[in-house]
Every structure is written in C-alpha cells, then in structure tokens.
Structure 1
Amino acid sequence: MNEWPLAEFCANVEICRLTEQVVFSDPYKILEYNRWTSPYLDADAEAVRNDKVLKLEVAQLKSKFCEQTQALIHGDLHTSSVMVTQDSTQVIDPEFAFYGPMGFDFGAFIGNLFLAYFAQDGHADQENDRKVYVLFKISIYTWNLFHKKFTSLWDIHKDGPGEAYLHEIYKDLELWELVKQKYMIHLFHDSLGFAAAKMIRRIVGVVHVEDFDSIVDPVK
C-alpha cells in the first residue's frame, strides 16, 4: 500500500470522531439532541438504550470503524451523495473520507435504502399503496453487483502488490475460492451491522431522514 494517502487521510481525526459519536455512542444514551417520534417510539428508544446484546455488537462495529484500514472510504455515503445519469455515476461530498472498514460505506448506503423502503407505508394512500416500490431489490442488486466486480478485480490482480493473500500460497483453485468466499461473507456481515447502526441513528439519534420526517401522520 502506498503510505502517502493513508497518512494524509489519517489526519481527518475530528470528522471521524464525529461519526464515532453520533453513530456508535449517542443513540445509546440520553442526550438532549437525540429525538424520535414521541410518545409513539418512547418505549423503542428506551429498549435500544437497554439492549445489552445490541450494545455489545455496536461496540464491535465501533472498534472496527476506529481500527480497520481496509480501504479509502467515503465515510458518509447515502443516496443523496450519489449522482446518476444513464452514462455515469458520481459520488459527491467526500469530506468524511478516511481509510476504514469497507463495510461502513456499503452499510451506510443500503441502510439509507432500507429506511426509504420501510417509510413507504407512511406515505401510502388510496391512489398509491407503494407496494411496487423497488428499493429493497435495489439493495440486493447493489450487493450482488459489488460482489461480482470486487471478486473479479481480485482475480485480475491476484499477482499484484498486496500481501494479505499471496497467490503463490493460495493458488490452489478450491482454496482460492474459499478465501474469497470467507472474505466476502465477513464483509457482508459487517455491512449489515453498519447498516443497522446507521438506521438506529437515523430513528432515535440526531439528524434523521426526510423519508420518515415527511410522514404527516405521527401515529404512522
């Protein structure tokens, strides 16, 4: 790995600390700027704060966020960060970028899709029941495409400068496939965990999503 970009983005300490706080810490304690649809979600917010198993999982996710340097990631990826045309895709707002766990970006993105998906019932009416919404399918398609492209590039660059999985050690075809499979399973698991953490933050923490906040009926 080229040490220069890693060293450069390690300086983004304050921005990373903000993410550590609002995603992995604040939703699990009582703070004046945490908010939710009260009183309807009061019991749910309290359940989050009292869930020991959940907090153990979140602690592991926070540890990975602070300690893993798998790749240069966007750090605040959501659907509003992605500009799409028929011919190209551009990602904007990179001020949270740093070297971290790859699952954080993917988890943040699909978490945003899940939030939009689950908000649809709150926007349904007699003219549009929202049952044909395809957001959940988009999240599946996104992972499948990423999996295909990532493992394909891994195969193409198997003799590259990376030290983690030297091809001379893992060149047996069956072992090579098992290495990739295990890596991608762990990455998928991390992604779902980070997606859940981001969703919790958007529901009972600070800074929500318009998908929920624009629902007119608070009971819904």
Structure 2
Amino acid sequence: MSVQIKPTYEPLNEVTVLEVVKALDFFEEAALSHLHVKEIGDGNLNLVFHIEDQASKKALIVKQALPYAKVVGESWPLTLDRARIESEALLKEAESVPHLVPKVYYSDRTLAVTVMEDLSDHLILRKGFIDGHTYPALAEDIGTFTAKTAFYSSDFYLHPFEKKEQVKRFSNPELCKITEDLVFTDPFFNHDTNDYPAELQSEVDKIWNDTELLREVSKLRFSFLSKAEILLHGDLHTGSIFVKENSTKVIDPEFAFYGPAGFDIAHFIANLALNYLSQNAHAKEPFNRESIQLYLLQTIEKSWDTFTETFTQLWNEKSTDPYAHVDGVLENFLQKTFQQAIGFAGCEIIRRTIGLAHVADLDTIQQKDVELFYKKKALELGSKLIKNQRNITNITELTDWIRGA
C-alpha cells in the first residue's frame, strides 16, 4: 500500500496508532473495537507498538522512528528517513532469505512507520544466551543470512548500474555517523560519550595510548567509511536477532548501508565472544558453563563456515564477474573479508565495554569485582583481535583466541 494515512508526521501513541492499523484491513472489522495495544520499545531510536486481537491472537508490530535519539533526547536529532531504509532493507533481504526476516505488511514514509510481523513467540537472542539457552539453527541461519544478503547485493552479482543505484538508495549518512563515532572513534579517545567504571581507567588508558592499536583502528574506520561492497544490516548484534528452538529472525536493519563485507558477521561474532566471557559469571554450574561456552565457539565457527560455503556456491553458480573463474580471486576476497572482520569484531568488543551502548551480558553480572574482571578481559581480547587480525588465518584460530581470553 502507498496511500499515506496522515498528511504530516507526529509521534504515535497507544490510541493514535490504531488509526494506522485500522486502515490496513489486517484485523477482522469486528475486532477493531477491542484491540489490545502496548508500547513495547526498549531501544534508543524508536517507538514500537504490539497490537493484538486477543480473541484470535492475531497480532502485528507497528514501529515508528522518532526524530531524535531516546537515549539522549531532542538535543540529538535524527533523520526519519531511516524508517524507509529499514523497511526497504527488510524487503530486499526477504528477496534472498524470506524465512530469516519478519514480513513487512505496510510502510509509510511520512509517518516513518513500518508495520510488520509479530514475533512474540520468539525471544531476543541476547536474553536467551544470558539465560543459558542454545539454538541449534542459529549458526547456519546467520551464516546463510550474511552470505546471501552479501552476494546478491554485490558487484559479483548485480549489474554495475543497479549496484550503484542501490548504493544511492541505501545511503544512510546519519546512522553511519553514529556507528563511525560510537564504534570507531569515541572509545579510542577521551570522549564524553564513553561510559565505564573508574576502576577500568588504567586499562582504558592503555587503549588510548597504544599507537599500534590506534593505527589499526584508523584503517578499519577508513574501510567502514569508503568501501561500498555489499548491503549490510549495519547493526547485527544479539539484540537484533529473535530466536526460538528452530527459527531465527533478523530484525531492525535501520542502520543498513553499503559497506565492507565483513562488518555484519563481525558484530555477530563479537557479541557471541562477549557472551562467552560473561558465561563465567552467568552459568549456574561448571558443566553447564562449559557446555554453553563450547556451543558459542562452535556457533562462531559454523556461522563463518556456512557463510563461506554459501557464498562460494553462489559465486560458482551465479557470479557475473569476469574474473569469477580465475583461481584465487574468490579465496582472496574471502580471506580479506575474514581478516577485516576480526578487526571489526575487536572494535565492537571494546565499544560495548567502554562506549556509550553496553551489553547486558557484562553489565548484569551481579558481583562488581567479577564484572570488572571480565570487562578487563573483554578489553584485552578486543585489542588483541584488532592488532592481530592479519595473523589469524582461519576461524578455529579465532575461536582459540576467544577461548584463551
């Protein structure tokens, strides 16, 4: 549908959001007068409404972008165009991995609204991990998601004209600037957005004064700024993935843009590494901890192996690149993607520890001294990955580094 429901933008509430829903013919007319509405957003950038016909249990989600960051307030304005980017990214992803993203029912650029499938029967992956759950389909699903969305949006598949048109369509400068600052800049300098306990100051000072580390981060930052290789989700952490026993759904691609091919899977790996560290405090029994940590390392390995296998199959069957069948071309691309992903993962680990947006994996550790211990471990691991990204040649070497953290 393309008809605008309202002529001007205004933030919705639990009453006015019904005007959006009633215009969609999603619910039976008899149910419209007794729909249950709840605002459930817990993020920093959006309103999220869950709307349900409690008689039939039929439900949907209405997500609306706010013109500012909730975490700061109106002093941090943001473009509403990110809602268009999110809905178009979900639709684009659905072309290659429809089973791994929520269905989009409707979007409205003026209202900055996306209406999508309700995933209440799923759980946020981060919470599931903290609670000690494992998901057998996760690794293959994320490997498939990252490989297919990468290949089908790349120059290896698209006509150059279409690829460049897609780059323009998904230009996302304001949200990319957030990533640039919060992932690649602020944590590596004395910036007022950083957030960490005073007890970590000596470890933070080591990062700020490590010239080799800063030199490597500057290269990663420049790659993020300049490489328009594939359409990225842009924020693929464990809070952007819904799961249940044998289902995975990747949500919230409002940071989507064309960038370096290793960026998405790097963020997934980094967040699993952070949970790996935190399991030393969260797991109830040693055997349970060892089992969960082994699963996390195996998930990292299998997700990368699935990425490479899937990407290779697509390359061999569907690549339009004139050099596609030259020995070593694909291998060179995958190796460079892998090694850069290690560096990106290191940046994500550090920023989630001392930057503006932390992870509950570490922050919910109840004993303060234990929390500090594993945050120090995280900073050490992140720094080592950044500085050794070109020395780690395969995925099992990477998981060995995580295991040894």
Distance 1:85 1:129, change over 3 A: closer
Equivalent-residue separation in structure 2 for 1:49 and 1:216 (angstroms):
28
Equivalent-residue separation in structure 1 for 2:285 and 2:234 (angstroms):
39
Question: Which has the higher mean CA deviation after the structures are superposed, 28-37 or 99-108?
Answer: 28-37
SS of residue in 2 equivalent to 1:216: coil
Distance 1:120 1:156, change over 3 A: same
The structure 2 residue matched to 1:209, chosen from 359, 371, 377, is: 359
**How far is 1:37 from its partner?**
3.4
Equivalent-residue separation in structure 2 for 1:54 and 1:125 (angstroms):
36
Equivalent-residue separation in structure 2 for 1:136 and 1:216 (angstroms):
24
The structure 1 residue matched to 2:188, chosen from 13, 24, 28, is: 28
The structure 1 residue matched to 2:344, chosen from 174, 194, 206, is: 194
Aligned residue in 2 for 1:147: 308
Preserved contact between residue 120 and residue 130 of structure 1 (Cα < 8 Å): yes
Preserved contact between residue 170 and residue 257 of structure 2 (Cα < 8 Å): yes
Equivalent-residue separation in structure 2 for 1:23 and 1:105 (angstroms):
13
**How far is 1:211 from its partner?**
0.3
**How far is 1:145 from its partner?**
0.7
User: TM (normalized to structure 2)?
Assistant: 0.49
Equivalent-residue separation in structure 2 for 1:88 and 1:157 (angstroms):
27
SS of residue in 2 equivalent to 1:80: coil
SS of residue in 2 equivalent to 1:30: coil
The structure 2 residue matched to 1:110, chosen from 244, 247, 269, is: 269
Aligned residue in 2 for 1:6: 167
SS of residue in 1 equivalent to 2:258: strand
Deviation string, structure 1 residues 158-211 (Cα, Å, up to 9, x no partner):
3x2x35x254xx2xxxx2xx2222211111101111000000001111110000
Q: Quick check: which one's helix share is greater?
A: 1
Distance 1:98 1:181, change over 3 A: same
Q: Quick check: which one's strand share is greater?
A: 2
Q: Letter of the aligned partner of 1:22 in structure 2? A: L
Compare relative contact order (CA 8 Å, sep 6+) and give the higher one, 1 or 2: 1
Gapped regions of structure 2 (runs ≥ 5): 1-159, 371-405
Matched, 1:38 2:198: yes
Preserved contact between residue 315 and residue 324 of structure 2 (Cα < 8 Å): no
Aligned residue in 1 for 2:153: none
Aligned residue in 1 for 2:331: 181
Equivalent-residue separation in structure 2 for 1:45 and 1:71 (angstroms):
33
Equivalent-residue separation in structure 1 for 2:346 and 2:285 (angstroms):
31
Q: Letter of the aligned partner of 1:194 in structure 2? A: F
**How far is 1:129 from its partner?**
5.8
Aligned residue in 1 for 2:103: none
SS of residue in 1 equivalent to 2:262: helix
User: TM (normalized to structure 1)?
Assistant: 0.88
**How far is 1:85 from its partner?**
4.5
Larger radius of gyration: 2
**How far is 1:116 from its partner?**
0.5
Distance 1:127 1:121, change over 3 A: closer
Alignment of 1:6-85 (within 5 A): 6-10=167-171, 12-39=172-199, 41-85=200-244
Aligned residue in 2 for 1:130: 289
**How far is 1:31 from its partner?**
2.3
SS of residue in 1 equivalent to 2:214: helix
Q: Letter of the aligned partner of 1:43 in structure 2? A: S
Preserved contact between residue 279 and residue 289 of structure 2 (Cα < 8 Å): yes
Preserved contact between residue 37 and residue 218 of structure 1 (Cα < 8 Å): no
Alignment size in residue pairs? 207
Equivalent-residue separation in structure 1 for 2:254 and 2:243 (angstroms):
20
Distance 1:32 1:105, change over 3 A: same
**How far is 1:114 from its partner?**
0.4
Preserved contact between residue 121 and residue 129 of structure 1 (Cα < 8 Å): no
Equivalent-residue separation in structure 1 for 2:286 and 2:276 (angstroms):
18
**How far is 1:88 from its partner?**
4.5
Equivalent-residue separation in structure 2 for 1:110 and 1:198 (angstroms):
9
Deviation string, structure 1 residues 10-67 (Cα, Å, up to 9, x no partner):
2x1111011000101000111233122331x221111111111111110000000000
Equivalent-residue separation in structure 1 for 2:245 and 2:195 (angstroms):
38
Q: Letter of the aligned partner of 1:112 in structure 2? A: N
Preserved contact between residue 82 and residue 89 of structure 1 (Cα < 8 Å): yes
Gapped regions of structure 1 (runs ≥ 5): none
